[in-house]
Structure 1
Amino acid sequence: MTPSHPSASQPASASTTGSLGRSALVALLLLWSLGPMLWQLYTSLRTPEALLAGAGGLARGWTLANYGAVLSGDPPFWRYLLNSTVVGALSTLLTLVLAIPCAYALSRRQGVLRLLIGGGLLAAAVFPYVLLFLALLEVARQFGLANNLLALCLPYAGLSLPLALLLLQAAFAELPQELEENAVLEGFSLPQRLRWILLPLMGPSVVSTGLLVFLFSWNEFPIALTWLSRSDLLTLAPAMARIAGSSVFTVPYGAFAAATVLGSVPLLALLLLFQRQIVAGLTQGAIKG
């Protein structure tokens, strides 16, 4: 009697099953990640009555009135977006201008001092800045920094600087020192070496670090809430808090969700625009060879 052999279709079937399992896992993770965003989009398009009706009101109660209410506010919603953009851009620029030369100097230093400085930067980066809230508030009161968008960039840049230094220092350390040595022999000064040789090679790291600083400045809430009291100077986070608390007896879920969606659009566009640089910057130095 001829012994039976496994069917040739069994490996293909197992491969198909594994592929379907991976696809289902990816779909589940994608749904888990996009779930809050999709829920905010759904809520922003529903009337309060439809939200209370739940699944029974899916066929009706769709509206754009929530977006109209947000965009027609006084001051208009675009003003908050503009304020957040200005603060985020200036904070990012100030942080990078300070961090790049300091990170270069730290990457070229060897010995125990470098380890001590790196440990101090790491401790500062993970320190909960909310504990500095009262001190920063007193600084704003003493120096008259309230209701000044430019002044708001100072604490944002200071709080972002430790993490930016750590990221850029690691990127500088990964660059071959032979490139810089050859540039010195060619007569390049330090600013010229940074401008024409080192920074172009570190483009992805600089972009990803700048985006992290920008996101922090864009989403920061407690400092902006206390430093800014004029409605025309509010950034997005405290402005949305006012929308959420605009009524004592009702919570404007639709308006708040519409403001959330509108406030997320610039960030999504920015991340999609620099997607390649972000991925390259986060993985720079991870693979050697």
Structure 2
Amino acid sequence: MKRFGRGGAALVVLLLLWSLGPMLWQLYTSLRTPEALLGDGAGPGGGWTLANYVQVLHGAPPFWRYLLNSTVVGAISTLLTLLLAIPCAYALSRRGGLLRLVVSGGLLAAAVFPYVLLFLALLQVARQFGLANNLLALCLPYAGLSLPLAVLLLQAAFAELPVELEENALLEGFTLMQRLRWILLPLMGPAVVSTGLLVFLFSWNEFPIALTWLSRSELLTLAPAMARIAGSSVFTVPYGAFAAATVLGSLPLLALLLLFQRQIVAGLTQGAIKG
């Protein structure tokens, strides 16, 4: 803090409060009784409770089931996306000229295209192939929607690696798969991790497709399950229960981000200068 002075330190504190403010408010709300939240006689020193967490964790189905469903869908979607994106990104990075420019432009357009506009088409596909109420079926659109951005990110990382590495390995008799497995991918660990986490976050938080394709309560992922937590209705809004569910649902993501924070930073900056 001495390096930035008092003004810089104050700015850092304000930025932290601005960033963490919503999370801290959700945590505060999850620990307060309905009367305290509505201001009905409970002062700052009273109205604290863990009942909101008990209500969420002991619901039917239990909250851990939603977390498990989201984890399964996110993990499979991420694995499927990476399996498809890595060879595509490698091939694109080793191509040049007009073809690479056209393909990269198409991928960029697909990555920024609002997928909600494809919602009706995806719904028709789901009905045609009977994909409703199937957790594994969610992985297909999630992987498809995440693939363009994943290819672009990994392509930039591949382009940063010197071609001489592959040429030397080729002289040693390495096949293409061996070069990817033993030389290129170990050097691209941060990029692969950060790309995988972005895909996982999208799959974890996706709402419209999961809400439409899943109707059985025990199959719901976290995002659509939030709308059904604690028996919410048009007459009552369980703010405390919603806040508790939000806090619990954020803990796995927070743990992942803390665990892979170095890889995330390194992966997002990899390829930013060259490539």
TM-score grouping bracket, smaller chain normalisation: over 0.9
Contact 1:244 1:253 in 2 (8 A): no
The Cα shift of 1:285 comes to 2.6
Residue in 2 that maps onto 1:24: 10
Contact 2:56 2:230 in 1 (8 A): no
The Cα shift of 1:39 comes to 0.2
Q: Secondary structure in 2 aligned to 1:55?
A: coil
Deviations 1:7-62 (A, max 9, x none): xxxxxxxxxxxx000000000000000000000000000001001167686xxx00
Q: Structure 1 residues 243 and 204 mapped into 2: Cα distance closer, same or farther (>3 Å)?
A: same
Gaps of 5+ in 1: 1-18
Deviations 1:50-96 (A, max 9, x none): 01167686xxx000000000000011000000000000000000000
The Cα shift of 1:250 comes to 1.0
Q: Secondary structure in 1 aligned to 2:43?
A: helix
The Cα shift of 1:244 comes to 7.2
Q: Within 2, Cα distance between the matches of 1:128 and 1:81?
A: 26
Q: Within 2, Cα distance between the matches of 1:223 and 1:217?
A: 10
Q: Within 2, Cα distance between the matches of 1:72 and 1:261?
A: 16
The Cα shift of 1:284 comes to 1.2
Q: Within 1, Cα distance between the matches of 2:175 and 2:33?
A: 64
Q: Structure 1 residues 105 and 288 mapped into 2: Cα distance closer, same or farther (>3 Å)?
A: closer
The Cα shift of 1:283 comes to 1.2
Gaps of 5+ in 2: none
TM-score (norm 2): 0.95
Deviations 1:202-257 (A, max 9, x none): 00000000000000000000000000000000000000021277222110000000
TM-score (norm 1): 0.90
Deviations 1:115-135 (A, max 9, x none): 000000000000000000011
Decide which structure has the larger Cα Rg and report it.
Answer: 1
Residue in 2 that maps onto 1:249: 235
Contact 2:230 2:238 in 1 (8 A): yes
Equivalences for residues 44-55 of structure 1 within 5 A: 44-52=30-38
Q: Within 1, Cα distance between the matches of 2:45 and 2:58?
A: 31
Structure 1 residue corresponding to 2:75, chosen from 66, 85, 89 = 89
Q: CA RMSD in A?
A: 1.5
Deviations 1:243-285 (A, max 9, x none): 2772221100000000000000000001001011001101113
Q: Structure 1 residues 245 and 160 mapped into 2: Cα distance closer, same or farther (>3 Å)?
A: farther
Contact 1:92 1:210 in 2 (8 A): yes
Is 1:142 the counterpart of 2:121 in the alignment? no
Q: Secondary structure in 1 aligned to 2:95?
A: coil
